[in-house]
A = this chain, B = another copy of it.
Amino acid sequence: MKAEIISIGTELLLGEITDTNSAYLAGQLPLLGLDIHFMSTVGDNQHRLVDTLRQAWQRSDIIIATGGLGPTQDDITREAIAELLNEEITIDPALVKKFQELFSYYKIEMPPSNIRQAGVIPSAQIIPNPRGTAPGWWIERGERIIVTMPGPPREMQLMWTQEVLPRLQQRTEGTVILSKTLKIFDLTEAKVDELVSPFLSATNPTLATYAKADGIHLRITAKARLASEAQQLINQREADIRAILDDNIWGVDSESLESIVGALFMAKGLTLATMESSTGGLLANVITNVSGSSKYFRGGLVTYADEAKAAFGLDAQLISQYGAVSAEAAEAMATVARDKLGTAIGVGLTGVTGPIEIEGKPVGTIFVGIDDGQRKKSLAKNYPGNRLQVKQRAVTSALFELRRILL
């Protein structure tokens, strides 16, 4: 079946906001076995919107429209669909009552314009919106389906996953498409491609690689008549890939490396401290983005200047012998962090983020040091990219190494 996505709103045509809904939905529809041939953006103009809907109605089986469901006069998606289908809009009293209850709960007077959002046509079923007052519409006419959802991504995504996706899954009967993403670090995209090449030409499950800030994502997608069959295809392929990529896989799907490392610290009852120079606090910042990180993260030192390194007890002799950007410095920084903050594990991070080389080491050089009280370890890397990219890669390296040591 062919699907088409329409984004509605003059603010999109003025470049004031970037349309992320289309890419989100475009990523979801193939999982239902739906093909997308077109995506369009149109402003808050009823004539042009009706033209765009009519064209989609002629060439596609499913139309998914986002935006234009607000309460004001420039929100014209409801009117445009009524015109397309030649139906009348009437106000649904049950929806009006619901809006009134919602506003009175927040002790706000309901603006009269909100009544417009309770408008509905005979063909449309109301799709509830748990995060706003704009309900969606689900319309079936012959073989065709039209879905409308609100424009704000947090409202749209919840409505999609809770309401629209399950209904579409029923319609695309007989086919279940599932996918799982394996997250990989310390290998290039070309290397991952090469290692999994025996499976790249398979058509079920398929494999796709994506280069991301936290490494390479490898997506396995399987199609079957039953969810259990699709799941089994994914499990088998995942096992094949794990046998090859071994411990370069640090997580799956929506997991983040910092939350995985955090869970390992919690499980083992260990504590962590950091000492950073070139990354300037990014490692500590990423670690503390995890809710509950105060249970294992004691604190960190950001020693950007050499005087700051000395002020916290880093051996000046060692720096002058090996340089501030060295494996020896990274290990010594790990030890200082551990000692100063009394933790089980200390991490030291030093490097060159640019714009110019330091101590003859090129931009992109980084050293990670780890001291767990029993032994010290370090690793050296060189990453391409600008200042922010090098900082990001250095922090991912440090987290990946922490994970390795904790396992």
Contact = CB atoms under 8 A, between A and B. Distances in A.
A291 B387 contact: yes
Given A282-B285, A297-B304, A299-B303, A26 B15 contact: yes
A190 interface: no
A340 interface: yes
Contacts of A303: 299
Given A17-B23, A285-B280, A298-B307, A40 B41 contact: yes
Nearest to A52: B38
A30 interface: yes
Nearest to A210: B16
Interface string A284-302: 1101110101100111111
B280 A284 contact: yes
Contacts of A342: 307, 311
B42 A26 contact: no
A279 B288 CA distance: 8
B355 A340 contact: no
Given A41-B40, A302-B300, A22 B24 contact: no
B23 A18 contact: yes
Nearest to A288: B280
Contact of A305 (B22, B287, B298, B391): B298
Given A15-B26, A23-B18, A285-B280, A304 B294 contact: yes
Contact of A287 (B24, B45, B55, B280): B280
A41 B38 contact: yes
Contacts of A300: 281, 301-302, 304
Contacts of A26: 12-15
Contact of A302 (B42, B302, B309): B302
A172 interface: no
Given A16-B27, A280-B284, A342-B311, A299 B289 contact: no
A353 to B, nearest CB: 8
Contact of A387 (B29, B274, B289): B289
B291 A281 contact: no
Interface in A25-40: 25-30, 36-40
A78 to B, nearest CB: 21
A36 B22 contact: no
Nearest to A280: B288
A304 B311 contact: no
A388 interface: yes
A283 interface: yes
B41 A13 contact: no
B40 A14 contact: no
A308 interface: yes
Contacts of A43: 36-37
A68 to B, nearest CB: 15
A112 B36 CA distance: 32
Contacts of A52: 38
9 contacts: A14-B36, A16-B208, A18-B19, A18-B20, A38-B48, A274-B302, A285-B285, A291-B354, A294-B305
8 pairs of A and B residues whose beta carbons are closest in the complex: A280-B288, A15-B27, A281-B284, A299-B308, A15-B26, A281-B281, A300-B302, A39-B41
